Every structure is written in C-alpha cells, then in structure tokens.
A and B are shown apart, each in its own frame.
Chain A
Amino acid sequence: MSFFSTALLVVRKDLLVESRSREVVYTALLFAMSCMLVFAFGLVKEGQVVTDAAAAILWITIAFAGTLALGRVFDRERQNETLRALLLAPASRASIYVGKFLGVFALLVMVELVVVPLVALMFGARLFRHPWLMIGLLAAGSIGYAAVGTLFAAMLARSRSRGALLPVLLYPITVPVIIGGVRGTAALLGPEADLAVARAWLMMLVSFDAVFVTLSLWTFEPAMTD
C-alpha cells in the first residue's frame, strides 16, 4: 500500500469512528465554549474586551480544546488496544503518523469552525475582515499544533501519568505556534489591520510548521518502536 493511501485509510477510520459517537467533537466544543466564558470574565472591562484579548482568547481556546481532543483520541486507541494493532500493521510508521495527524487536524478544524465565529460575535472581533489571511493563520497554527500534539499524544499513550504529562510537554513546545497565531490575529484585529505584520507572522508560522512536521516525522518511528 502506498504512503498516502495508508494515511488516508487511517484518517477515514478515525473520522468514521468519531462520526459514530461524536464524543470528542462534542466534548471539545463544550470545553472550548466554557474556556471562552472563563476568559471573557477575566478580560472584559465595562462590557468591552481588552484590545488584543480576543486574539489570545481564540488561540488559547483552540489550544486547550486541542489538548482535550488529543488526549481522548489516543486514549480511545489505547483502551481498545487498537494502537498496538496499528503499529503491527505492515505500513510505514510515517504514514500512520500522517494519518493520525490529519485526523487531529480535522478535529481542530471542526472546533475552529465553531469557535472563530463565536469569538467574532461575542467579543466584537473583526476576524473576517481579511478572511484569507485569517484562514492562513488558523491553518498554519493548527498544522503546527496538530503535528507536535499527535507526536506527543501517541508517544505518551502507553506511559504512566500521560494525562498530566501531555500538557507539560505540549505547551512549551507549541508556545511559538500559539504566539505566532495570537500576534498575527491581533495584527488583523486592530482598528487599522496591519497586513504586513500579519503576513510576517504567517511566514513565521509556516517556518515553525516546517520544522515541527519534519522533526515529528523523523522521530515518530524510533520513538514508537519498542
């Protein structure tokens, strides 16, 4: 089986399983909305959100919901012992990684489809003024976050204290991605959208993605092999 057909098979399997129960999507969405509420109470002054806070709220919500989704996706694999089966399959580890990564990325996109309009609505953030740049930032940020997240969640799936350790590992390493996303989005949200700065941050995100995806692809196989 070719690399991409294996990866697509893994994605299809994940999305099919998820569509039957929709557990991860629902819990991630609800969690994201609670997250937004908590931040709103902390960052709202006289009914108006502090400037730049909407960008931070958006990205932190995506990050937290993403961690939740990652934990659940691999917990499910571990509980059903399908992870071992997956690793024993005659497919290259890299293609399994890409398949899992695309599944996580799809979950993140589903969360963002709900969270982004909500943030725009509830915090008066003009996120859709420059839609392509915004989509670019979201895509680049989600790719970077999903790449690192899939690697670490898969690695931790079989270890002790995985619930506590996933955030401990994930957040420091994905901070550059989150910062890029927040600064890029904040540049778009000002009264005069600073397109040059937003584009610069988008380029930075793309280069982070290149590094993270490459490193993740390199290390997935040796790290997952017993």
Chain B
Amino acid sequence: MQRTFPLLVLMCIALFGYAPFLIAGAPYESTMGLVQKIFYFHVPSAIAMFLSAFVCGIASAIFLFQRKPGADRVAVSAAELTVLLGLIVLVTGPLWARKAWGVWWQWDARLTSSLVMWLVFQAYLLLRRFGGPGSDKLSAAVALFGAALVPFVYWSVNMWRTLHPTTNVVPSLPPPMMGPFLWCMVAFLALYGVLLAVRVALEERRARLDTLYLALED
C-alpha cells in the first residue's frame, strides 16, 4: 500500500493533466454543442459517487455486524467523499441543464432522488459530528439506507419519463466520445482511490491519537 500510493497519485496527475486535451478534441454534440462537454466530468463523478455510497454502505454493514473499527474509518471517509462527489455532480449538472434544458433544475425522478441521496449522506456526517457517543453505530445504520438508494437513483431514469438522459447514453457513445469519457472515468476512479486512502489515513491517525491519550491518562 505504501508503495502503490505515490504511483496512484502520479497516475492521477497524469490522467487529469492530459484529460483537457482529450476533452477539447472530442467532437461536439449535434443538439447541445459546447455545453455537452460538461459530460466528461459530470458522469464520471456521478459514477464515483455511486461507488463511494456503496463503499460506505458495505463498510458500515461490516462495522455494524462485525464491529471492525477499521470498517468504520473507511465508512466515514467514504461518506465524506460521497458528499464531495455529490456536490460536483449537483453543480455541474444544473450548469449543463441551464443551456441544454433551459432550466437550472427540474424535479424529475433522477434529480430528486440524487438530491435525496446526497442529503442522506450529509445527515450521516452531521450525526457523526453532533450525535455524541454511539453515533458511529447509528450513522452506520443511516449509511445502509443511503447505499440502498443507489440502485433506485441509477434506474430512476429508465423507470420514469425524465428530462435527464437515460442510462442508454453511455453504452451507445460513439467512439470519438467514448475515448475521452473512459479516460476521465479512470481518472476519477484513481482520484477516488487517492482521496479515500488519504482520508482513511487521517482517521487511522486520529484513532492512534485516542489510544495515546488513553495511555497518557493511565
């Protein structure tokens, strides 16, 4: 892990460094023009957000049922990253929508459900911060509900008539667009790995600090 981390950071920098060139070189979309290029950050961050929500849910389940403190550290970190990635999705989306749909926001199934999921993970963080002792188990339960929402959010575009495009768009991307998209997807996954590792390291140091404080009091 110690040796792969700097490699991951370098890979991340390289991926994001070259991404703007790929995005600029990608063809324009016929109806949306320049603004469609927001796609190359909007969708990868959304997929990373779903991944993060799952990581948080699985780690929370492990923590709840097996009491492994390491799982709780991963859960907290993943929850913070879900909120961060959700912020990126919910800001880039409306900026794109303003030009593509003419409105900043629309209460359709996809947008509403992703906003709800984002709020659930924010509630997780609030509970961790202000809930006092025992809030680690309580927030783990919240994370399970949040993670259960992910499939609903993902398939909401296919189940209802929404303004938001369906999940059919990505698999049917023409090759000149698929290349930059996959590049940005890998870039965001690498970024997620880096951020998660760093954040978990912070939690581990905090845990170590707590142990030392306890030893000091003895």
Q: Determine the chain B residues whose CB is within 8 A of the CB of A175 once the complex forms.
A: 112, 116
Flag whether A121 is at the interface (Cβ < 8 A).
Answer: no
What chain B residues lie within 8 Å of A159 (beta carbons)?
131-135, 138
Bitwise interface map of B from 116 to 140 toward A, beta carbon under 8 Å scored 1, else 0: 1001101100110011111101101
B155 to A: closest C-beta gap in Å? 12
Query: B48-59 vs A: 1/0 string, CB under 8 Å?
Result: 000000000000
A135 at the interface (CB under 8 A from B): no
Question: Within 8 Å CB of A165, what residues of B?
Answer: 126-127, 130-131
A222: chain B residues within 8 A (beta carbon): 64-65, 137
Q: Which of B33-41, B84-92, B141-149 is found at the contact surface with chain A?
A: B141-149
Residues 175-226 of A contacting B (Cβ, < 8 Å): 175-176, 179, 211-212, 215, 218-219, 222-223, 225-226
Q: Which residue of B lies closest to A214 (CB)?
A: B148
Within 8 A of B (CB), among A137-181: 148, 151-152, 155-156, 158-161, 164-165, 168-169, 172-173, 175-176, 179
Report if B154 contacts A (CB, 8 A). Answer: no
For chain B residues 125-183, which have a beta carbon within 8 Å of chain A? 126-127, 130-135, 137-138, 140-142, 144-146, 148-149, 152
Chain A binding surface SS class: helix
B130 touches A223 (CB 8 A): no
Closest-by-CB residue of B relative to A226 is: B134
Interface size class of B (residues with CB under 8 A): 20 to 34
Instruction: Select which of A151, A158, A226 is within 8 A of B141 by beta carbon.
Output: A151
How many of chain A's residues touch chain B, expressed as a range?
A: 20 to 34
Q: Given B65, B131, B152, which contacts A161 in the complex, CB threshold below 8 Å?
A: B131
Q: State A156–B146 Cα separation when bound (angstroms).
A: 18
Residue of A nearest to B64 (CB): A222
In the bound complex, CA of A161 to CA of B129 (Å): 10
Query: Known contacts being A148-B145, A173-B120, A215-B148, is A223 close to B140, with CB within 8 Å?
Result: yes
Q: Which residue of B lies closest to A173 (CB)?
A: B145
With A165-B127, A168-B126, A176-B116: A219-B135 Cβ-Cβ less than 8 Å: no
Q: A161-B130, A175-B116, A223-B137 are in contact. List 10 more A-B contacts (CB 8 A).
A: A155-B141, A158-B134, A160-B131, A160-B132, A161-B132, A168-B127, A175-B112, A212-B145, A215-B141, A219-B141
List B residues at the A interface (Cβ < 8 Å): 64-65, 112-113, 116, 119-120, 122-123, 126-127, 130-135, 137-138, 140-142, 144-146, 148-149, 152
